[in-house]
Amino acid sequence: MDLPVAIITGAGRGIGRASAIELARRDYRLVLVSRTASELEQTAALCGGACQIVAADVGLADAADRVVRQAMSSFGRVDALVHCAGVALMRTVERMTPQEWQAILDSNLSAAFHFCRVLWPIWRKQGGGVAVNVSSYSARDPFPGLGAYGAAKAAVNLLGLALAREGREINVRVHTVAPAATETAMFRSLFSPEQCPPQETLDPAEVARVIAHCITGDLAHTSGEVIYLHKSVKFPAS
């Protein structure tokens, strides 16, 4: 029997890289996606095994088609999607440009839709599949300046519930994992260690283990739910 296949967006670093390593340990073949090929090569080296690299901006509407075509050409199937890619900018409403607003929506929200849209007929034919979308604690309690990011992630939460209900008839599960402050390059581009000490943040590997449990483990029955993860609900001082 062929080993299962997972597409992971945002796989060049952070939660995406940690998810790739975790699923590689579980004998998944991987399609690693991000905008930076060199980061993907580093992730692939850490994973070992069968990895395909696709440098793509998932905020673009046609990226999902290209990535899924590559996955099917290389492996002949896709069993799981882990959508970790995202953009977060610290901008108040009066400072945010329409282009920045759209980029946040495209990478965090629209990409989740586009990948599921392309994968749905494949999963229908295969008899099932699973998507895990990475949301954020900001979806229910946004720090000032992260309103656009929080709004996009709140929409990801609702999209996950809607898609889980649509997918039930074809054995497709959709899970949403919403971590609070996590020790990633994106988080550190927004908050300094003085604002949020490392001991108060999640390790990306902790989040990755929850994602893997949604796909293959004890959390498989949480389709449609939002799983919030946090060490502390305090937000950093401005």
User: Considering 28, 137, 149, 228, which one is annotated as catalytic?
Assistant: 149
Tell me how crowded residue 99 is: count the other CB atoms within 10 A of its CB.
8
Residue 217: closest CA among 175, 178, 179, 187: 175
Tokens of 6: 């997972």
Helical (H) or strand (E) element with 226: strand 226-229
What is the rounded distance in angstroms from the CA atom of residue 223 to the CA atom of residue 98? 33
One-letter amino acid for residue 59 of the chain: G
What is the rounded distance in angstroms from the CA atom of residue 37 to the CA atom of residue 64? 17
Q: Does the active-site annotation cover 149?
A: yes
What is the rounded distance in angstroms from the CA atom of residue 231 to the CA atom of residue 229? 7
Note whether 49 and 76 are within 8 A (CB).
no
What is the rounded distance in angstroms from the CA atom of residue 234 to the CA atom of residue 196? 9
Q: Which residues are catalytic?
A: 149
